[in-house]
């Protein structure tokens, strides 16, 4: 079983296209048809949640949207991931809120990255949407 962490963005990630890329991004175009994304630019990423959250904080402008999803491949390339929209999460970086199927939670304004990194962000069962508004 192989797990791939993907993000989709509404605009290209300029850091991905530079030789001094400090974020571990790869093109996700090969998997694009298999992923439940609604945004056009797809990247596979590595690294820790806290690094990813720091990247989002610096990359996202007002009104930007980024989607995240874990795609797991089983034997013979059959997907083990499913998309259950009712389990989706929405994280608002501007308002510092985390919303899942159980409710909406306010994150601490100073330690929100650490607090969010302790929660379930990505899932193989639903898309996590990051918004900045």
Which long-range contacts (C-beta less than 8 Å, at least 24 apart) are formed by 117-120? 117/48, 117/49, 117/50, 117/53, 120/89
The first and second tokens of residue 58, run together, are: 């610096």
Q: Does pTM top 0.75 for this prediction?
A: yes
Which tens digit of pLDDT belongs to each residue from 16-50?
655 555 556 778 888 898 899 999 999 988 767 88
Provide the 8-state DSSP code for 77.
G
State the Cα–Cα distance between residues 53 and 92, nearest whole angstrom.
12
DSSP assignment of 5-61 equals: EEEEESS--GGGGSTT--S-EEE-GGGGGGS---SSEEEEE-S-HHHHHHHHHHH--
pLDDT at 102 over 90: yes
Largest CA distance in the chain: 45
Which tens digit of pLDDT belongs to each residue from 51-99?
888 889 888 999 999 999 999 887 776 788 889 999 999 999 999 999 9
């Amino acid at each position: 079983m192989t797990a791939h962490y993907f993000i989709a963005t509404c605009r290209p990630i300029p850091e991905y296209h530079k030789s001094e890329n400090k974020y571990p991004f790869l093109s996700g175009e090969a998997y694009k048809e298999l992923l439940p994304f609604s945004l056009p630019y797809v990247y596979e990423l590595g690294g820790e949640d806290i690094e990813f959250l720091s990247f989002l904080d610096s990359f996202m402008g007002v009104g930007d949207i980024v989607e995240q999803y874990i795609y797991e491949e089983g034997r013979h390339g059959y997907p083990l991931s499913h998309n259950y929209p009712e389990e989706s999460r929405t994280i608002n970086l501007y308002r510092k809120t985390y919303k899942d199927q159980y409710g909406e939670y306010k994150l601490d304004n100073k330690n929100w990255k650490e607090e969010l990194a302790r929660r379930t962000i990505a899932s193989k069962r639903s898309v996590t949407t990051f918004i900045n508004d």
